[in-house]
C-alpha cells in the first residue's frame, strides 16, 4: 500500500455550505489558488448544478488551477453529473464526485427508496460520470451509520462500475475513532475489489472527533482525507486540513506517511479563508489559532527560552508563522521579563530585576497582558504619571450614512496647544484616524490591528475598541471604551499616542544616559 495520503480539500464546497455570507466567484478563485499553493491534491470547487453562480465559479477554478485536480459534486442524477462534466471540462485534470446516502435512516426517510434502488442509482451515476472522465469518486453519504454488509456491497458495486475513489463519510460526526477505523478495516477485509480504488474518508465534527476519526481511518488503510481549512463546514464543521496534515508531518516517524502539503503555506491560507469567509478562528484552535504558538505562563516561557522543544512539538516556522509569542501576564516569571527587556535593548545592569518584577506583577494583575511599552515604562516612570495625558480628546464630530461621504472633525489638546482637523474617509473611524494622523505631522505610526467588541448586551452596549499599532519598531496597544463606536476608536488611538509620547521620552532619556556614559 502506498505511503502517500492524498489531501482532498472541500473548503469551497462543504465549507461554503456553512458560511454566513456567500463568496463571489473572484473570492472562490482566490481561495482555490491559495489551496493550489498549499499543495492540496484535489480541490472540490463546488456543486455545479446548484446555481448558475456555483457553476461559473467551478468553471473558473477548473480553468485557472493547474497543479491540482479540480472536482465538482453531484447527486446520483444524470442532470447533476452533466452539469459537473460541463463545468469541469475546461480543466487539465478533473474529477466528478457523485454521491448518494446509504444508511437506512437516509434511504427510507429522506430518499424514500429501497436499498436495491440506491445501488442501482449509484452504479448508474458512476457509469454516467464515465462519459466525461476516468477520475470518478463515489461517496456513500452517512456511511458511518450504514449497515456494514450493505456498505461492503455498495463499495464493491461502485468500484465495478468504474469509481476510482470511494469515499466513506461520517456525515453526521456520529462515530468514534475505534469504531470508524473498524469500518475501514472491515472494508479492506471484505470487499474483494477494494485494491482497485483509493479509499477516502470525509468526517464531520459534531462530537469533536473529525480529525481523530480521519486519522483512525488512515491507520486502517484510507489514503485520501477530505478536509477543509480551519475545519469549516456543515454544522460543527469538517476534519481540519491543517490538523491532519500537521499530525502526519509531526508524527512522520510513527506513521511513515506523506502528503504533498507545503506546511509553510498553512498560516497564510488559514488567514485568507477566515477573512474571505468571515469566519474567525478561535484563538486556541490547534495549528492556526492566534494562541497556538504563544506561551503565557512563567514555567513554560522559561522552558521555551532554554529549549523551544520543551513546550513546542512543531516550530511556528513550519506552519508559516514567524516566531512564537511569549505573552507577559501575571503568570509570567523573571526569566521572560529579563528576556523581553534584553530584546528591547536593555542590559541587566540597566535595571533592578526584583523591583521591576514586583512592579510588573502589580501592573499585570490590573491589566492582564503587559505590552512592550508598558514594561519599558516601568523602568522609567512612576505608573501614576501615566494619567497625565499629553494628548487629550476635547471635541469629536463624525458623520456617516448611506450615500454621504463619511467625515470627522477632531480636536485634541496636545501638550498646551489645541489643534483641530477635519478629514473624510472610508468610514467615520477612518476619517477620525486620518484627522488625528494629520495632526501628528509624521507617518511613523501604523495601525496594524483594530478590533471592535461590545461590553454588555443590546443596542445600548458599550463599544470597546482595541488597537495595536507599530511605532518606531515597537508595538503599542490601546483600548477605548464609549457608548459611541467612533469615540471608542478615537480613545483607543489616543491611548496609544500617549504611550508613544512617553516612549519617545524614554528614548531621549536613554540617549542622554548613553551620552553621559560615553557610549
Ligand atoms: C452531505 C452533503 O453535504 S450533501 C451536499 C449538500 N449540498 C447541497 O445541498 C448544496 C446544493 N444543493 C442545492 O443547490 C439544491 O438542494 C439542489 C439544486 C441540489 C436540489 O434542489 P431541489 O431540487 O429544490 O431539491 P431539495 O434540495 O429541496 O431536495 C433534495 C432532493 O434531492 C434528493 N436527493 C438528495 N440526495 C440525493 C442524491 N445523492 N442523489 C439523488 N437524489 C438526491 C432528495 O431526496 C430530494 O428529492 P425529492 O425532491 O424527490 O424529495
Ligand atoms: C457529499 C458528502 C461527501 C458529504 O459532504 C458528507 O457526507 O458529509
Ligand atoms: Mg460533508
DSSP per residue over 10-67, as a string? -IIIIIHHT-SSPPPHHHHHHHHHHHHHHT-SEEEEE-GGG-HHHHHHHHHHHHH--S
Q: Hey, whose CA ends up nearest to atom 6 of ligand 2?
A: 171
Mutate which of 10, 95, 139, 173 for ligand 2? The one with the most ligand atoms within 8 Å of its CB, which is: 139
**Å from CA of 117 to ligand 1 middle:** 17
Distance from C-alpha of 113 to C-alpha of 115, rounded to nearest angstrom: 7
Tell which one of 12, 71, 77, 141 to mutate to probe ligand 2, the residue whose CB is within 8 A of the most ligand atoms. 141
**Burial class of residue 221 (count of CB atoms within 10 Å of its CB; 0-12, 13-18, 19+):** middle
Atom of ligand 2 nearest to the CA of 204: 8
Ligand 2 mean position to 214 CA, how many Å?
Answer: 14
Q: Which of 327, 292, 295 is nearest to 308 (CA)?
A: 295
Nearest atom in ligand 2 to the alpha carbon of residue 143 is: 7
**Residue 121: DSSP 8-state:** H
Atom of ligand 1 nearest to the CA of 14: 3
Shortest-distance ligand to the CA of residue 142: 2
pLDDT value at residue 254: 98
Q: What is the pLDDT of residue 384?
A: 41
- What class has domain 389-514? alpha beta
Where do the H-state alpha helices sit in 208-284?
Answer: 210-219, 241-250, 252-255, 266-277
Estimate to the nearest angstrom the gap between the alpha carbon of 244 and the chain centroid. 14
Distance CA 430, CA 493 (A): 11
Query: What predicted TM-score, i.e. pTM, was given to this entire model?
Result: 0.82
pLDDT of res. 457: 62
| Residues in the ligand 1 pocket, defined by CB under 6 Å | 14, 17, 47, 49-50, 75-77, 99-100, 110-111, 141, 171, 234
- Which of 169, 228, 234 should be mutated for ligand 2, with most atoms under 8 A from CB? 169
Q: How far is the CA of 100 from the centre of ligand 1 (A)?
A: 10
CA–CA dist 513, 515 (Å, integer):
5
What element of type H or E holds 153?
A: helix 148-161
Q: Which of 252, 250, 213, 253 is nearest to 231 (CA)?
A: 213
Domain ranges for the chain, please list them.
6-277, 294-367, 389-514
Give the Å distance between the CA of 237 and the centre of ligand 3: 8
**Atom of ligand 2 at shortest range from CA of 13:** 5
Neighbours of 268 (CB within 10 A): 15
Closest CA to 261 of 35, 18, 11: 35
Architecture of domain 6-277: Alpha-Beta Barrel (3.20)
Give residue 286's pLDDT. Answer: 98
Ligand 2 centroid vs 64 CA: distance in angstroms?
Answer: 25
Give the Cβ contact number of residue 280 at 10 Å. 11
Q: Which residues are annotated as a binding site?
A: 14, 202, 204, 238
Block means of pLDDT (10 residues each) for the chain, 519 residues, are 97 96 94 98 98 97 98 98 98 97 98 98 98 98 98 98 98 98 98 98 98 98 98 98 98 98 98 96 97 97 98 98 95 97 88 93 88 80 58 95 94 95 96 96 92 74 86 88 90 94 86 78
Task: Pull the grid cell for residue 58.
Answer: 467551478
Residues 225 and 236: beta-carbon distance below 8 Å: no
Amino acid at each position: 500500500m502506498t505511503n502517500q495520503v492524498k489531501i482532498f480539500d472541500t473548503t469551497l464546497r462543504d465549507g461554503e455550505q456553512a458560511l454566513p455570507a456567500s463568496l463571489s466567484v473572484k473570492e472562490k478563485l482566490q481561495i482555490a489558488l491559495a489551496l493550489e499553493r498549499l499543495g492540496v491534491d484535489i480541490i472540490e470547487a463546488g456543486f455545479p448544478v446548484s446555481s448558475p453562480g456555483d457553476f461559473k465559479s467551478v468553471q473558473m477554478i477548473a480553468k485557472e488551477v493547474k497543479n491540482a485536480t479540480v472536482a465538482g459534486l453531484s447527486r446520483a442524477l444524470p442532470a447533476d453529473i452533466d452539469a459537473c462534466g460541463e463545468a469541469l471540462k475546461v480543466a487539465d485534470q478533473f474529477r466528478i464526485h457523485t454521491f448518494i446516502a446509504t444508511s437506512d435512516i437516509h434511504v427510507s426517510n429522506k430518499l424514500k427508496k429501497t436499498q436495491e434502488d440506491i445501488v442501482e442509482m449509484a452504479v448508474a451515476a458512476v457509469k454516467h460520470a464515465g462519459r466525461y472522465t476516468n477520475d470518478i469518486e463515489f461517496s456513500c453519504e452517512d456511511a458511518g451509520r450504514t449497515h456494514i454488509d450493505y456498505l461492503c456491497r455498495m463499495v464493491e458495486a461502485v468500484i465495478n462500475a468504474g469509481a476510482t475513489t470511494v469515499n466513506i463519510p461520517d456525515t453526521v460526526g456520529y462515530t468514534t475513532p475505534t469504531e470508524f477505523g473498524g469500518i475501514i478495516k472491515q472494508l479492506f477485509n471484505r470487499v474483494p475489489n477494494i485494491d482497485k480504488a483509493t479509499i477516502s474518508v470525509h468526517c464531520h465534527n459534531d462530537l469533536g472527533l473529525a480529525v481523530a476519526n480521519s486519522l483512525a481511518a488512515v491507520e486502517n488503510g484510507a489514503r485520501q482525507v477530505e478536509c477543509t481549512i480551519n475545519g469549516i463546514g456543515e454544522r460543527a464543521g469538517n476534519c481540519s486540513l491543517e490538523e491532519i496534515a500537521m499530525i502526519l508531518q509531526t508524527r512522520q516517524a510513527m506513521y511513515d506517511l506523506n502528503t504533498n502539503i507545503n506546511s509553510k503555506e498553512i498560516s497564510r491560507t488559514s488567514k485568507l479563508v477566515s477573512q474571505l469567509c468571515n469566519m474567525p478562528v478561535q484563538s486556541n484552535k490547534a495549528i492556526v489559532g492566534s494562541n497556538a504558538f504563544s506561551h503565557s505562563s512563567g514555567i513554560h516561557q522559561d522552558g521555551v527560552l532554554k529549549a523551544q522543544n520543551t513546550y513546542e512539538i512543531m516550530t511556528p516556522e513550519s506552519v508559516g508563522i514567524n516566531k512564537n509569542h511569549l505573552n507577559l501576564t501575571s503568570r509570567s516569571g523573571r526569566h521572560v521579563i529579563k528576556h523581553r527587556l534584553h530584546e528591547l535593548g536593555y542590559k541587566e545592569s540597566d535595571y533592578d530585576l526584583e523591583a521591576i518584577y514586583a512592579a510588573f506583577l502589580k501592573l499585570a494583575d490590573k491589566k492582564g497582558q503587559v505590552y512592550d511599552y508598558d514594561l519599558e515604562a516601568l523602568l522609567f516612570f512612576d505608573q501614576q504619571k501615566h494619567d497625565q495625558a499629553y494628548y487629550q480628546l476635547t471635541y469629536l464630530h463624525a458623520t456617516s450614512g448611506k450615500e454621504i461621504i463619511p467625515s470627522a472633525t477632531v480636536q485634541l489638546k496636545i501638550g498646551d496647544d489645541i489643534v483641530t482637523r477635519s478629514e473624510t474617509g472610508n468610514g467615520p473611524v477612518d476619517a477620525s484616524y486620518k484627522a488625528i494622523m494629520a495632526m501628528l505631522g509624521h507617518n511613523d505610526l501604523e495601525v496594524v490591528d483594530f478590533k471592535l467588541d461590545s461590553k454588555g448586551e443590546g443596542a445600548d452596549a458599550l463599544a470597546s475598541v482595541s488597537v495595536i499599532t507599530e511605532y518606531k519598531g515597537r508595538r503599542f496597544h490601546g483600548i477605548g471604551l464609549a457608548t459611541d463606536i467612533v469615540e471608542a476608536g478615537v480613545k483607543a488611538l489616543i491611548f496609544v499616542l500617549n504611550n508613544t509620547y512617553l516612549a519617545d521620552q524614554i528614548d531621549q532619556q536613554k540617549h542622554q544616559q548613553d551620552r553621559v556614559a560615553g557610549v
